[in-house]
Amino acid sequence: MAETKTTKKAASKKADEVKTIAQLQEELLQKRTDQLANKRSHAAGELVNPRVITATRKEIARLHTAIRAAELAAKESK
């Protein structure tokens, strides 16, 4: 039997909670320290899952994007 694939339109993600720029920057600082710790443990051969480094890097990029969007929104609302 032939199964038909249905394509779904990509739904844009909406933020469940709105964070301030200061909260985003705090979270960014925490992710950067996590990334540094993960890199050190990976170099020492103690890191079990090295994909954590990639995931953390992507989370940092998402935070940079969210901070920039919040800055632009604040600038626009003035």
How would DSSP label each residue in 5-37?
A: PPP-PPPPP--SS---HHHHHHHHHHHHHHHHH
CA–CA distance, 78 with 18 (Å, rounded to integer): 19
d(CA 40, CA 52) in angstroms, rounded, equals 12
Residue 4 is predicted with a pLDDT of: 59
Residue 12 has pLDDT above 60, yes or no: no
8 Å CB contact between 60 and 28: yes
How do residues 18-37 score in pLDDT, each as one tens digit? 889 999 999 999 999 999 99
User: Per-residue pLDDT for 63 more than 60?
Assistant: yes
Residue with tokens 């990029």: 61
> pLDDT-based confidence at 78, cuts 50/70/90?
confident
